[in-house]
Amino acid sequence: MIQENVPLKKFNTFGIDVSARYFATFSNTDELTECLTQNAGYRSIILGGGSNILFTKNFDGIVLKNEIGGIDLIDEDQDHIYVKAGAGENWHQLVLYCIGRNWAGIENLSLIPGNVGATPMQNIGAYGVEIKEVFFELEAYSIAEKKVYTFSVNDCEFGYRDSVFKNRFKDQFVILSVTYCLNKFPKFNIGYGAIEQELQKMNVKELNIQSISQAVINIRTSKLADPAVIGNAGSFFKNPSVSRQTFTELKNNFPNIIGYDNEDGSVKLAAGWLIEQCGWKGYRKGDAGCYERQALVLVNYGKAPGKEIYDLSEEILQSVKNKFGVQLEREVNIR
Ligand code: EPU
């Protein structure tokens, strides 16, 4: 059923108080087709968990909330389990489901807000793991052709927080389901500094995916803002990459700058560090702020209009550019 003038506050983790001219949920492709047909001519947004979007104004079109459910073991071989999940399933619930069955590969991605459909969209990543490493295939619905396509890992053109669905195919497909290839025999990934420390603190003697998941949960809850308490969409910016030469120059001027080597020889900078050095960490103007424990996270303390958060992000972007000559890029979708 299509509703009119629907408040979106509870459908976006920033908690921005805007409304949609039309709103509907869908649980299968028939319902999706019906919504799109009835509202042909209107702009549409497909919403999952609403955890990577900043609304800066009311949306004068139709918001379609993806509620396609289901978690199925569809295949297995000696080493792998193939799990297919509906795009509307909550991501962390899926992680817990898999961990409970000892299916490994996504434990480092515990507690990331949002739904399954968003995981390939922005190639979610945390603590040394990206979704592309366990991705098998996905099904997506072409809005123009009203037809379902299967995308392999190559078709998705994954990059750092990036995929074909944010670029060439932006707003053209609705992700329906994702199939992950998980491991029966875990390959532990604890290279990311903070994990090992946390495991020691937890006094873990024998490594398993349950304890890695718990370590990640502990780190995330200590650094990142819980959207149920303070509105936010995780990292607001991407970590920018610069050439090795630029990094060397920056390092001369700012000896403490944090950089990680990329495979192609460039260096990825910690945007949180850059932003903190510009004095933004813990900054608050009205209800818009830069989170006190992680400068990469912008927050809504209650009633901030999306525009104020956007304006703050613009000021941050400018000051990082002025101080370091580095251009930040937003990770969150602005609407
Ligand atoms: N740092 C600071 N000040 C800050 C924040 C960070 O100096 O205010 C420094 C940290 O001390 C650390 C470095 O920057 O040395 C990196 O910080 P952190 O480990 O917190 O990770 P991040 O690079 O800021 C990225 C992802 C997160 C992911 C973490 C852990 C992006 C844009 N963000 O953050 O992903 O959880 O690594 O893997 O790549 C998200 O995408 O929404 C997200 C939360």
Q: Is the pLDDT of residue 40 over 90?
A: no
Catalytic residue among 107, 213, 331, 335: 331
Instruction: Give exposure, 210-239, as e/b (b: 16+ Cβ within 10 Å).
Output: ebbbbbbbbbbeeebbebeebbbbbbbbbb
What digits encode the pLDDT tens for the residues 77-127?
999 999 999 999 999 999 999 999 999 999 999 999 999 999 999 999 999
What digits encode the pLDDT tens for the residues 238-278?
999 999 999 999 999 999 999 999 989 999 999 999 999 99
**In ligand 1, which atom is closest to the CA atom of 220?**
36
CATH code for position 255: 3.90.78.10
Do 164 and 264 lie in a common domain? no
CA distance 41 to 235: 34
In this prediction, residue 270 carries a pLDDT of: 97
Average pLDDT, the chain: 96
Do 80 and 165 lie in a common domain? yes
Ligand 1 pocket, CB under 6 A: 126-127, 223-224, 234-235, 238-239, 258, 270, 272-273, 276, 281, 294-296, 331
Q: Where in the sequence is the domain holding 327, given as residue range(s)?
A: 231-334
Do 178 and 80 lie in a common domain? yes
Asked whether residue 128 is assigned to any structural domain, the reply reads yes
Q: What radius of gyration do the chain's Cα atoms show?
A: 20
Residue with CA at minimum distance from ligand 1 atom 27: 126
Asked whether residue 26 is assigned to any structural domain, the reply reads yes
In this prediction, residue 1 carries a pLDDT of: 83
Asked whether residue 196 is assigned to any structural domain, the reply reads no
Distance of CA 183 from the midpoint of ligand 1 (Å): 27
How many other CB atoms sit within 10 Å of the CB of residue 18? 17
Catalytic residue among 44, 89, 139, 161: 161
Q: Is the pLDDT of residue 168 over 80?
A: yes
Asked whether residue 54 is assigned to any structural domain, the reply reads yes
Asked whether residue 18 is assigned to any structural domain, the reply reads yes
What digits encode the pLDDT tens for the residues 207-219?
999 999 999 999 9
CATH code for position 93: 3.30.465.10
Residue with CA at minimum distance from ligand 1 atom 13: 270
Do 241 and 174 lie in a common domain? no
Q: What's the whole-model pTM score?
A: 0.95
Do 154 and 254 lie in a common domain? no
pLDDT tier for residue 192 given thresholds of 50, 70 and 90: confident
Do 318 and 285 lie in a common domain? yes
Is the separation of the CB atoms in 72 and 326 below 8 Å?
no
Do 38 and 88 lie in a common domain? no
Distance of CA 113 from the midpoint of ligand 1 (Å): 15
161 tagged catalytic: yes
Is the separation of the CB atoms in 32 and 26 below 8 Å?
yes
Non-local CB neighbours of 51 within 8 Å, separated by 6+ positions? 12, 13, 113, 114, 118, 227, 233, 234
Is the separation of the CB atoms in 211 and 202 below 8 Å?
yes
Do 168 and 263 lie in a common domain? no
Per DSSP, 309 falls in state H
Q: Which of 66, 90, 115 finishes a domain?
A: 66
CATH code for position 8: 3.30.43.10
Instruction: Give exposure, 269-303, as e/b (b: 16+ Cβ within 10 Å).
Output: bbbbbbbbbbebbebeeebbbbbeebbbbbbbeee
CA distance 51 to 148: 25
